[in-house]
Amino acid sequence: MSHELPAWHHLARQDHLYKSRSSSSAFAGALLVPMLVVIYLELAPYLFSVDARLLPKYTYYVMFAFMLPLLALRYRRLFRYAGSPFALWVAALVAFNAAHLFAAMLDLEHERIALIVTRIQYYVLAWMIVFACSEARDQLLDRAFLALAVLLPCVTLFDFLNPGLMDPEGIVGRGAGTYLNPNKAGEGLLVTYLLAVRLMTPRWRWWLLVWVGIAVVSTFSRGGIAAWAAIVLGLLVTGRVPRVMILFSVVAIVLIPIGWVGVENYLIGRADMAEGIDNIFGRIESLQSLSFDDASVAERAAVTSAGWNLFLDNFIFGAGAGATHLWALPVSVHDQALMMAAEYGIVGVCMWLWSIVIVIRGKYYPDPLLQWLAALVLVFLSMFSHNIFDFLYWLVSIGLFSRRRST
């Protein structure tokens, strides 16, 4: 007697699986859209700056709580996802930081313990969110990131035009929006743009890049401006934007000196930007003359030298997680690769290289050249920031770039 199920039973089972996956995707989408807004607008730290009672950890704990039902519903797919490149990278980061946490607990280093625990929580939360993205509909994610890529420049430019309104204690005159820090805002603008252009036509891809570029310039972040210029050059050279835009770019380059004069006159005329005018003009002058000798560059040179010496003294395992954040110098090393080297040794360097590899090997874009462009931007901005693995929007972005998506 045959034990084969009748055809209608197979059809009913397939229909049940489709409905189950569809409801799961809808649930994941309903969770993700507000979470992505919170993450890519950096709302948790911003709300804390508005009201000290609203600690960022509360926002992240709420995210954890809302993610648990989805993980329970899709536990089989969750186990399979645990073998993905991003999940393995996160697992390695968690394991390595757990070893440093054990050492810090033995030495009763409370500040270091708090920093490592926070990092581990970020890694796990990013892993959960990227898994949820794999369960949601790709069209929903595309629309969400497109909306964010348009919204973020609006918020940044609003902050630039109304200095001190959004963040009275921030760097006056430099657009930062809800990111609070202009350099972070420049990074957030660019990474959100890269996540939004997956299926955009070349023409709209270009005009969105122009809009994002205007906002990046308002941050006066030299790393952000240079990375934006690299994206422009990459898209032009590879023909990923209309050829007529080459002429537009040439005209824009010719008009840049006139534009800078206009910007300077505008800034001088704004009395409400007087507090930060020296910082802004120093950055404009360094971009014009390419002579990076201001106080910010001098500070970066000092911490870079200190970080390199720390790595040489602790070549194998590093000086310990948090070493460049808790040292006597006022800031960390401003370089992700160097920070990983100084704190985690040669293993940390491998972890940084691993993040680049999983982005390059990812299938986020149907166009492989865009995948390489995302990886190059990650490498480039790593040279200007030591917090890429400490910010949730960066961790989630790395995970999204590394995943395979339908075209």
Written as tens digits, the pLDDT of the chain (407 aa) is 444 444 433 433 443 333 345 666 777 778 889 999 999 999 999 999 989 899 999 999 999 998 888 888 888 888 888 899 999 999 999 999 999 999 999 888 899 999 999 999 999 999 999 998 888 888 889 999 999 999 999 999 999 888 888 887 777 778 899 999 999 999 999 999 999 998 788 888 888 998 999 999 889 888 898 899 889 888 888 877 777 776 776 666 666 666 666 666 666 666 666 566 666 656 666 555 555 555 666 778 888 889 999 999 988 888 999 899 888 888 888 899 999 999 999 999 999 999 999 999 999 998 889 999 999 999 999 988 888 999 999 999 999 999 876 54
- What pLDDT does residue 291 have? 56
Whole-structure pTM value: 0.86
Q: What is the pLDDT of residues 273-327, one digit of tens each?
A: 656 666 665 666 655 555 555 566 677 888 888 999 999 998 888 899 989 988 8
CA distance 249 to 261: 19
Instruction: Report residue 303: phi and psi, to 5°.
Output: -75, -30
Q: What is the pLDDT of residues 341-395, one digit of tens each?
A: 999 999 999 999 999 999 999 999 988 899 999 999 999 999 888 889 999 999 9
DSSP3 helix / strand / coil % (the chain, rounded to 5)? 75, 0, 25
- What pLDDT does residue 150 have? 96
Amino acid at 327: W
Tokens of 268: 């001088």
**Within 10 A of 204 (CB to CB), how many other CB atoms are there?**
12
